[in-house]
Amino acid sequence: MINWSEEKVRAFQKTLLNWYDQNKRDLPWRQDHDPYHVWISEIMLQQTQVQTVIPYYQRFMKQFPTVQSLANAEETELMKAWEGLGYYSRARNLQRAAQQLVDDYQGHWPTDVHELQQLSGIGPYTAGAIASIAFNQPVAAVDGNAFRVFSRLLEIDDDIAKPQTRKVFEKVINRIISKERPGDFNQAIMDLGASYMTATNYETAKSPVKAFNQSYLDGVEAHYPVKTKKKRPVPVDYFGLVIHSNQGYLFEKRPAKGILAGFWMFPLFNKSALAADESMTETSLIQALEKQFHSESGLSLHLTKVPSKPVSHTFTHQKWQITLLSSRLSADADLSFFSGNWIPTSEFENTPFSKVQSKMWLAYSNASNK
DNA sequence: GAGTCGTGGAG
DNA sequence: TCTCCAAGACT
């Protein structure tokens, strides 16, 4: 797979690290090599762009400056700090790992890659990143950048969407990585992948390592990396209920597992689950919803369509389209059938909301202020 | 091993 | 509007 001589490997390391020393990005988590700083930044950066992460990272460090403070944090405050970043299980795993560090490791970090992977939320990439950056271990940190950069450098044709492909790249990188400066080597590859070797609009001709880039030299770089396509999001249509009383708005806590787990949201009702057949009009769907609500609770809701466009929100694998309906209800109505709570608007700022919940609230507020 | 899990930006 | 991408992990 790789036919580089020892001499070429050393030349590549020298070229890459010299470029990195002159051009590395000045990022908040690069002020030192503290494993806590490296860890938090790596988790936040998963599937998330640098510019998005920076303000979250800075707020997080002020609020939770140590492993200990993270381990002892209130879940609501933790989720509020993570609000808007997405992939919320990252935050929960973060706290679980902090508690593991306190309870099982007496607050002392393991430095071995395999041991690091025993911590919640730390997989092969993040373990490699922490081990190399914080503890100077000569191990690969194979993320999307590494896949992209090395597939182009070496014309590796394996599909990077396949889990088994990781070990191909780990093997190659473990041979090429600098044994003296493994952390800088891995970070240099990331900076390269974010500048001269991005997914699109890359400027390989200006890249400091273009002489080592076989696919560029062969004029076939557009072919790399090889990656199979993902499925498109499935449309799912809901009614979103904005129910108001003198106690606030009615929220429902989402199940502990699945999408947006544990978040408080306006109650959502799947339209297709409500429809007896596919030809039902929206008006009759609303009537069916009122009827279902009545049979489950004994409460008579009169639902009115909110004069706004449906709220649209796309996840990785689902595209939600939410039609907002509003109603008033007495605060002393018996809602015991329903895992819900009244939340006053004064508490909104202390309650973690998903982006789609914020969109619903915004659409409703705008419509009712007209 | 394929599906699941958020959000924002770019083209 | 659609599609893909951005420092992945877990089931």
User: pLDDT tens across A136-156, in order?
Assistant: 999 999 999 999 999 999 999
Fold of the CATH domain A6-223: Endonuclease III; domain 1 (1.10.340)
Say what the pLDDT of residue A155 is: 96
- Amino acid identity for residue A19 in this structure: W
Q: List chain A domain ranges.
A: 6-223, 234-368
- Amino acid identity for residue A249 in this structure: Y
Mean pLDDT, rounded, for A335-364: 93
The spacing between the Cα labelled CA in A299 and the C1' in B8, in angstroms, equals 40
Say what the pLDDT of residue A289 is: 93
- Each residue's pLDDT tens digit, A276-311: 787 889 999 999 999 988 888 788 889 999 999 999
Q: Which residues in window 131-170 of A are less than 7 A from strand C by Cβ?
A: 143-145, 148, 163
Q: Which residue matches tokens 């509020």?
A: A80
Measured CA to C1', what is the nucleotide nearest A52?
Answer: B8
Q: Which residues in window 72-91 of A are less than 7 A from strand C by Cβ?
A: 87, 89
Q: For strand C, is any atom closer than 7 Å to the CB of A108?
A: no
- Each residue's pLDDT tens digit, A205-264: 999 999 999 999 999 999 999 999 888 999 999 999 999 999 999 999 999 999 999 999
A6-223 shares its CATH topology with A234-368:
no
Q: Which residues contact A168 (CB under 8 A, 6 or more apart)?
A: A1, A156, A158
Q: Which two tokens stand for residue A288?
A: 């069916």
Residue nearest to nucleotide C5 (CA to C1'): A199
pLDDT above 80 (res A333)? no
CATH number for domain A234-368, candidates 3.40.190.10, 3.90.79.10, 3.40.50.720, 3.50.50.60: 3.90.79.10
Say what the pLDDT of residue A337 is: 73
Mean pLDDT, rounded, for A90-95: 98
Residue A1: pLDDT band with limits 50, 70, 90: low
Say what the pLDDT of residue A314 is: 97
The spacing between the Cα labelled CA in A200 and the C1' in B11, in angstroms, equals 9
Q: For strand C, is any atom closer than 7 Å to the CB of A225?
A: no
Nearest to A321 by CA among A240, A206, A216, A262: A240
Mean pLDDT, rounded, for A64-86: 98
